[in-house]
Amino acid sequence: METAMQSTDSNVLVPALEQPLPPPTRWQAFRTRYGTLIVTITNISLFCVLWQILQGGPTPVIDTRWIPAPLSIINAIITTTVRGSLIDNFVFSATTYSLGFIVTILLGIPVGVFLGLNKDVRNVAQTFVWIGYSTPTVAILPILTVIMGFGVDAKVALVALSTFFPVAINILNGIATIDPVLLKAGRVFGANRWQLFTKITLPALLPWTLTGLRIASRRGLTAVIVAELFGSIRGLGFMVRLEADRFQSAKSYAAIVMLCVIALILLNGLEWIEKKATPWRAKPKF
């Protein structure tokens, strides 16, 4: 529609409905390329300066035990990094998280696909997976702790459980909504069951699986933090709690900043993978 309107036919004496835009000037090009970035950076810097003025002075607005000034947070990040506690705790949390996530990828995805293949099995599985997806998975934490203790395995189990359900529910949904026309077309062209599975079902499941993993990554992060807050002797969550209990809240904010960085990297990384792996799927950004 749009292109048809824009085309100017020189034989017809009707003016084009929409004139082509003039080429952007250098200033306009600069603005479209970097404008948002500059505004955002200025915005955040001004906010930080204001925060420092309000909280850094001798009479802070809110007690600095709850909200410290940004400079002291940066100071705490440097101190804890030099002393090694931030890195140690980060490595511990990251290991727990990755182990749980790997369990989901290696076990959860095949189990999800396997449960989805038969219609009746899928119906039953969908209910259980849906129940698991709707309930707060952290509710199992007390039981896991009683059974497995305060070690790493309870945390890995919790991460695996809370990441399994989003992935599984997406895979089951994906299998249920495969276009039957595609399967029929496959049959018509002489594909056997295995070929139908590998050439139609699996590619159709890829975007669903990736969406599931993206949702799961957030839940898994929450699960790690809750598990470490609740009972642990290491990890970023433990560090937040310990330093908060010592009233060294700048140091707990250092750990929180670290968590924020991890979350940003994870989320953007998974989004990037999703975009690269399924380029045919134009997704609105939320």
Partner 1 sequence: MAEAAIPQSVSSPAPEKFLPLGKVSFFRRFWASYSAAILTVGAIVIAGVLWEIEARYIKLVPAYLIPPMSEILAKLWTDTISGEIPFQLAWSLKNYAIGYLIGAGLAIPLGLGMGTFQALNKLLSPYVWILYVLPRIALLPIAIIAMGFGPEAKILFIAMACFFQVIIPTVAGVVTVPASLLKVGRLFGGSRIQVYRKVVLPYALNFIITGLRLAARTGLMVMYSTELFGSIRGIATYSIREAALFHTDGVFAGLIVITLLAVVLVSVIDILDEKLRPWKNEVSF
Place of tokens 């998975």: 137
Q: What is each CA distance from 283 to 83, 156, 219, 232, 271, in whole angstroms?
A: 43, 32, 21, 39, 10
Angle between helices 85-103 and 202-230 (to 10 degrees): 140
Residue 130: half-sphere exposure toward Cβ, Cα within 13 Å? 8
How far apart, in whole angstroms, are the C-alpha atoms of residue 166 and residue 187? 31
How far apart, in whole angstroms, are the C-alpha atoms of residue 90 and residue 84? 10
Q: Is 8 or 127 the residue whose CB approaches partner 1 more closely?
A: 127
Query: Is residue 280 near partner 1 by the rule CB under 8 A?
Result: no
Query: Is residue 65 near partner 1 by the rule CB under 8 A?
Result: yes
Q: Which stretch binds partner 1 (CB under 8 A): 50-58, 81-89, 125-133, 187-195?
A: 125-133
Q: Which stretch binds partner 1 (CB under 8 A): 24-32, 96-104, 106-114, 237-245?
A: 237-245
> Of residues 80, 89, 211, 232, which one binds partner 1 by CB under 8 A?
211
Q: Which stretch binds partner 1 (CB under 8 A): 20-28, 152-160, 224-232, 270-278?
A: 224-232
Contacts of 195 (CB under 8 A, 6+ apart): 186
Q: Is 149 or 198 the residue whose CB approaches partner 1 more closely?
A: 149
Query: Is residue 69 near partner 1 by the rule CB under 8 A?
Result: no
Query: Is residue 161 near partner 1 by the rule CB under 8 A?
Result: no
How far apart, in whole angstroms, are the C-alpha atoms of residue 213 and residue 271? 10
> C-beta of 249: minimal distance to partner 1 in Å?
6
In single-letter form, the type of residue at position 161 comes to L
> C-beta of 176: minimal distance to partner 1 in Å?
12
Distance from the Cα of residue 7 to its chain's centroid: 43
Angle between helices 85-103 and 249-277 (to 10 degrees): 40
Query: Is residue 136 near partner 1 by the rule CB under 8 A?
Result: yes
Interacting residue ranges for partner 1, rule: CB under 8 A? 36, 39-40, 43-44, 47, 63, 65-66, 120, 123-124, 127-128, 130-131, 134-143, 145-147, 211, 215, 218, 221-222, 225-226, 229-230, 236-237, 240-241, 244-245, 247, 249, 252, 255-256, 259-260, 263-264, 267, 284, 286
